Structure 1
Amino acid sequence: MPLRKMLDEFSCLVILVLGIAITGVNSQLDSLGFISIDCGLPANSTSVDDDTKLTYVSDDQFIDTGVNYKIASKYASTGNGPEQYGTLRSFPNGKRNCYTLRSLSAGSKYLVRAKFMYGNFDNLYKPPTFDLYLGLNYWYTVNLNSPDDARFAEIITLATSDYLQVCLVNKDLGTPFISVLELRPLETTLYRDVNSTQSLVHFFRGNTGASDQLIRYPNDPYDRFWRNYTLDTWSSISTNSIVQPDPDYATPSIVMQTAATTSSTNQSLNISWTGDNESVEFLIILHIGEIQDIPRTDYREFDILSQDPLFKYLYAPSNLTSGWVRYKDTGRTAYYMSLKATSKSTLPPILNAIELYVITPATGIPTYIADVIAINAIKENYKVTIGWNGDPCVPIDYPWTGLGCTIYSNVPRITHLNLSSAGLTGELISSFGNLTALVSLDLSGNDLSGVLGTYLDQLVALTYLDITGNKNISSMLPPGLQKKQQDGTLTFKSKLGDFTQQSNKKKAPVVIIAVVGAVVLLLLAVAIILVLCLRKRPDNQIYIPKPNENTGSSPLRNSNAGNFAYNPAANGFHGNNAGKNYTNISKPRGSGEGMLNFENRQFTYNDLKKITNSFQNNIGTGGFGSVYAGLLENGTQVAVKMRSHTSSQGVKEFLAEVTILSYISYFHPSPRRYPNKLYFTDKSDIFRFFFP
């Protein structure tokens, strides 16, 4: 075997082993890919659910705020919920407190469920009302009626990074709390309506015609809750035979083995529900499969109707095979649907299960990335423990404690920072200068030392600066802020204290530079090895459905564009853009669905001036030159790296770094980095856009 090939394979093996080791140490997932959290348990302890046999862990590794409580003993013994309802975590401090669920796969779908039982943990006999957010976006309002009222909120979403955050927001209507938090991975082929722009919030999931109160894991491998739903006017039928699942919702056989029906073909099977307001858009999914042994002389088909006069589906169920009909409805507060036998049918309609979801768009726009990087550096350096988690500014009504935010060009920016008496110690770090939209900065009442560096001159919008009470910090402003003070555009409050320059502080940068240099070299080496490994592998294959292509004749009539059905007897999907034929195509390694193809886009120097606002926001300096924060016309945040003519390294080396970094970005995505980068060498070049 050639030496190079041996080295390549050994390098790949080393990376694989390291990856497994790191995942094993840091992963929050269990062997099923589940995250099951019993909130309020003591650190490093676990509990086991009696029904599912799933192990639940303490929440101490998922959040660093809040207080653990046990519910009152009288409610712990009511049997109104699982064992995990006995403890909870309460959040008396901060407007927003967030759990971080890590070790996820970007581009994958997940079911996230939060459970709540008040249990009079605070002895106030007053259940709170508060909001639940998934990342930047509103999810659910928790509103409990009594101490023993148990509720859950569930959402199906697509992870756009390797973590999700579940945030509880205080609305001044009582102290938020949480009892249980669960995450379950879903196949990416399930729930086609879930994508990067919208999620599905659970409204109702019913197992019609069933007698079991609840079906979940292990009968449903995705741990969905299927609750018994049968009306007095309905009849129930069942079978012991296995019902084959459909490929799009994977409805469990045990759910499909029962169904609701009516006593005669003259009687319709009707379902109704109400919405909070007319703007809510519902997704309705009906699961239907024939579970009776029908004589040749009998036939079952029925129309599915709603309030929309244009909506009408004709459906003939398949024997022992799950099919579905899905449609959307909005614009009212009261809804109903009806399954009615046709004149041709000799048997009444049937319905095995139903799912109702609220379609929730992802409307939240994250805080300007340079601000996020800067404020997180401040948080880490000074060990800020005042509930700084989640996005700093979003939701805009509930920013981090001490922060004020303003929307500029549709992007939230940090404009006010109040860290008065926050226990800050040590020197003022340069990250403060990277909060370039700051108007007000209050650092009074701390124990900061050193000087006010020239990096603060980047705060061109600053009108108020307070450093009073920091007895070991110099009160001399840098030149730019001095000029603002002289012009009367800056109010500066300070109290001159003892200040001594320490000569040994000059040694620190040498150590830092040495460490950073070693880390950079290590990353470059890993990147090169990854490139060698990946070049030996065939391109990934994906399947993209051909739109507007039906696959066979069907008794299904679709008179409402945008609605879909799947009938196994008719060989597939029917409806608008619902074709079931596929084309096999290749995609570049590391690319994902929904990723924009910007690799061939070019920019002029004037374009880049506009993108970076004339290179105003310098967010760092490397061996080749400066890096600037920028914003494309569509709102995409980018980092622009420019090779300086004074750099000791040439254009070839610069372009080599571009190539390596583009590979690193494919396989090491990080929420703390600019996801998009522009590289250029000088004003005479045409510039290429790399989209890792």
Structure 2
Amino acid sequence: MPEDSNYTDGSTGLIYTSDAAYIDSGESKSISPELRNNSLDPRFLNVRSFPRGTRNCYTLRPVQGKDNKYLIRAWFMYGNYDAKNQPPTFDLHIGVDFWKTVNDSSLPWWSEIIHNPTTDYIHVCLVNIGYGTPFISALELRPLSNSTYVTQSGSLSLVARWDLGSTTEEYRYDNDVYDRIWRRPVYDNTTRVIHTNLPIAPNRFQPPSIVMSTALTPIAGRDPLSFTWESNNSTDQYYIYMHFAELQANQTREFNIYLNGELWDLSNNNLTGQVPDFLSGLAALQVLNLKGNNFTGPIPVELLERSKNGTLSLSIDDCESAPCNKKKNNVVVPVVSSVAAFFAVSIAILAVLWIIKKRKQVVTKVVAETNRNDRSLEFKKRQFTYSEVLTITNNFQRVVGKGGFGTVYHGYVEDTNQVAVKMLSSSSIQGYKEFQAEANLLMSVHHRNLTSLVGYCIEGTDMGIIYEYMANGNLERHLSAEDGTHVSTIIAGTPGYLDPEYYISNRFTEKSDVYSFGIVLLEIITSQPALAKGNDKTHIIQWVSSMVHQGDVKNIVDPRLRGDFDVNSAWKAVELAMACVSRTSTRRPTMNYVVMELKECLTTEKTRHEMGSKD
């Protein structure tokens, strides 16, 4: 709507204001006159269109600030505002993270996300993906209670929110204090609606009383109620929140919940580690089945006490001192939820703790392997004795760097060929693991841009890798004009380059390589390190992301270029790198696509130079 204008919504009483103060790009357009009528909500009469730029972002600065939870809702109605009669397809992002693809906006449509920002501002971005000009009709921001919709990380994008048993199309504010939209699903003839006029006590999620006053039940009491949806990606994870209230007097109901045909509880799920203490704090938890897992350690005292006094039905194997080796069906719960009784919250947190426990066990395994001095590596390259290494390095006279598992020394093989000798430090806890990884990599991968393995030394506790010396320094040194110091990590590899999904899945994929390459690409573009020097250790993704939102690529690209580059080509390279480092692997491009796009950037830059030389 026009700048400095506003209106009050007739159904909710909420005030809508112009978006002009929150974005400095785009054009305000009116929908086609043929579609304007008195019944159309005012928010759909105008759109903001973005014909220029690949990425256009709103900057929202909520009063509550960072580390608070917000509901963000974006509305779209194409309305043939451009007279092309062709609704576009484009992406919606929260910051640099993908939110939703908008591809069906011929009728009023909305997408909703629950987000907990780590900064005092929120960027909502519309991204042109080559299928038409992005636009938006309205953008809503609502504060939520921080005690609701708790996730381990990330944001929650809404799939559906159903008001079961309702005869009204939808409820929102002021029935819902958070302005959540509750919609009535389509019912079939196997169910019936029950309702009550009595007040319903709220829980911390505060579902509207009018929503909780109706419910759905099968006509035949033994029949199930089934709800289904299709996932576009098999790796997607879902949070399900179910709210229950007994609406009929003198009724007590007990029923099971199944997920994809499996009883939905924590039994037989191959969970490891200790039974977490936080389960004791779930006061409304009444049934807890932990049988058939691999828990170790004592059961929390509070759980045992509640089991004894009858307030909790606890089923668990005898795990006080050793793992429980029971038969397991290996059904891992892919959906975590929060039921009104908070039972399923335990599923979410326990599953995450299991992953963390598993990662901690990796440390123990690495230390054990190091202490055993396992020498299972068998190289095809030349083996040097320790005395030969002393000769090569002139008794370790010249130090050229520090590696993840030891010191790097300069030397000569056969008096003429310069080499670098990296010796395993006896004090390195995880060094042998990194020693293995680096040696195997150099042995198996051959490329003109990768240093070549010359040989190795394994003699007692003395282990080293001998490889081609880079007299002109490595990429980091050329970019930063200083020597980088490698920081030891549990996982063999340099900090800042590791796929964040590794910490969840504990495995690498081709998209993990894409992520790491994206970090390197950002380093090349910006001349900044993956992790900033100093105490704050700001990651390059955070830095580039904040600069992208400012909209000036010249502040992102290596200042030593002094602006001598094609702006469009630079933007394409930056956006390509940011796509590579998406936290979700399915949103990352393939390496073939990355190479193709980089070649196009290079061609553009070469053409610019050639045209400039002719002038």
**What TM-score comes out, normalization by structure 2 length?**
0.48
Q: Structure 1 or 2: larger strand share?
A: 1
RCO higher in 1 or 2 (8 Å CA, sep ≥ 6)?
Answer: 1
Q: TM-score, normalised by structure 1?
A: 0.43
